[in-house]
């Protein structure tokens, strides 16, 4: 099975390919297929952005498409950065700039009150079918010092107390067990199996 992933984020693509290739599903992102239309992620929710990306690419290609939007919600910041996670420090902010802003906003918040949740919403768009949605989440705390080199975004400061590691320090097996995106991907794999015949028509 071949599927288009509506992203140009190389970090996301790597994670998706690692999961889906084990199920004989080939993932091609927007870089792979030369898709150069800019899709503004301007919806008010993660679900809205995931749906928009899947719909736009599906309509243009007339092929099944999966997409995701993920966000970090920090309780002490009333859920911020949330849907603005990728651009928390500005429209074209780097991962480092987003982390710096988050830590600045949390500088007066004690460690025990830095509870955070990662959420991933994934959408499946199949031509002539209704959009289908799955979600995954994981809970942890935000720490001040970056640890680990895996993952991307806020991964080096998102800490799992139960295993005493940040998301950036997880082995692949640990990441597959704990990550919000991995949890959503496992649900998406079930959805793809249920819709296998429809998908393979295109």
Among candidate residues 69, 92, 130, 139, the one labeled active-site is: 69
The radius of gyration computed from the CA coordinates of the chain, to the nearest angstrom, equals: 17
CB burial of residue 196 (10 Å; 0-12, 13-18, 19+) = exposed
DSSP 168: G
Q: How many residues does the chain have?
A: 202
Known active-site residue 130: no
Q: What is the rounded distance in angstroms from the CA atom of residue 99 to the CA atom of residue 83?
A: 15
Integer Cα distance of 178 and 185 in angstroms:
12
Within the chain, where are the H helices? 10-20, 46-61, 95-105, 172-178, 180-194, 196-199
Catalytic residues: 69
């Amino acid at each position: 099975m071949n599927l288009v992933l509506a992203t140009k984020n190389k970090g996301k693509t790597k994670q998706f390919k690692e999961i889906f290739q084990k199920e004989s599903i080939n993932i091609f992102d927007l870089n792979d297929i030369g898709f150069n239309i800019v899709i503004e992620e301007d919806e008010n929710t993660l679900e809205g952005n995931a749906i928009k990306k899947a719909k736009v690419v599906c309509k243009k290609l007339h092929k099944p498409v999966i997409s995701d939007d993920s966000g970090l919600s920090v309780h002490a910041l009333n859920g911020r950065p949330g849907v603005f996670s990728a651009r928390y420090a500005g429209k074209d902010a780097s991962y480092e700039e987003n982390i710096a802003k988050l830590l600045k906003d949390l500088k007066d918040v004690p460690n025990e009150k830095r509870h955070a949740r990662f959420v991933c919403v994934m959408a499946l768009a199949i031509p002539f079918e209704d959009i289908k949605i799955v979600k995954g989440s994981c809970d942890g705390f935000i720490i001040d010092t970056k640890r680990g080199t895996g993952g991307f975004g806020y991964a080096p400061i998102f800490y799992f107390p139960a295993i005493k590691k940040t998301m950036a320090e997880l082995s692949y097996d640990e990441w597959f067990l704990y990550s919000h995106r991995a949890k959503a991907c496992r649900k998406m794999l079930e959805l793809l199996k249920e819709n296998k015949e429809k998908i393979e028509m295109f």
